[in-house]
Amino acid sequence: MNLTNPDESPQVDALRETMIGKLREIGALRSDRVAEVFRAVPRHLFTPGAPLEKVYNPTDAVYVKRDEHGVTISTVSAPELQAFMLEQADLQPGMNALEIGSGGVNAAMMAWLVGPEGVVTTVDIDPDVAHRARGLLDAAGYSRVNVVLADAENGVPEHAPYDRIIVTVGAWDIPPAWVNQLAPGGRIVVPLRMRGLTRALALDRNGDHLVSRSAMICGFVKMRGTGAHQERVLPLRGEQIRLRFDDGGGRTIPASRTVCSTRSAPKCGRV
Ligand SMILES: C[S@@+](CC[C@H](N)C(=O)[O-])C[C@H]1O[C@@H](n2cnc3c(N)ncnc32)[C@H](O)[C@@H]1O
Res. 195 pLDDT band, cuts 50 70 90: confident
Measuring from each residue's beta carbon to the nearest atom of ligand 1, which residues come in under 6 Å? 73-77, 99-106, 123-126, 129, 151-153, 168-169, 220-221, 223-225, 227
Question: What's the pTM?
Answer: 0.87
- Is 90 exceeded by the pLDDT of residue 135? yes
For the segment 83-104, the average pLDDT, to the nearest whole number, is 98
In whole angstroms, how far apart are CA 270 and each of 89, 143, 194, 216, 267?
A: 16, 34, 16, 5, 10
Check whether residue 214 and residue 244 sit in a common domain.
no
**Do 137 and 176 lie in a common domain?**
yes
| Same domain, residue pair 257 and 140 | no
Q: d(Cα 104, Cα 111) in Å, to the nearest integer?
A: 11
Distances in Å between the alpha carbon of 206 and those of 87, 137, 185, 186?
Answer: 20, 33, 6, 8
Distance CA 78, CA 269 (A): 12
Q: Which atom of ligand 1 is nearest to the CA of 133?
A: 8
Per residue in 244-266, pLDDT (tens digit) is 776 655 444 343 333 333 333 33
The CATH number for 107's domain is 3.40.50.150
Q: How many domains are contained in the chain?
A: 2
Quick check: is 268 in a domain? no
Whether the predicted pLDDT of 4 surpasses 80? no
**Domain for residue 119, yes or no?**
yes
Give a yes or no: residue 1 inside a domain.
no
**Mean pLDDT in residue range 69-77:** 93
DSSP 3-state assignment of 160?
A: coil
Question: Is 267 a member of any domain?
Answer: no
Residues 62 and 182 in one domain: yes
101 part of a folded domain: yes
Query: Domain residues for 201?
Result: 6-227
Q: How far apart are CA 182 and CA 177, in angstroms?
A: 9
In a domain, 266, yes or no: no
Q: Is residue 271 part of a domain?
A: no
256 is catalytic: no
If asked whether residues 164 and 244 sit together in one domain, one would say no
Residue 45 sits in the same domain as residue 126: yes
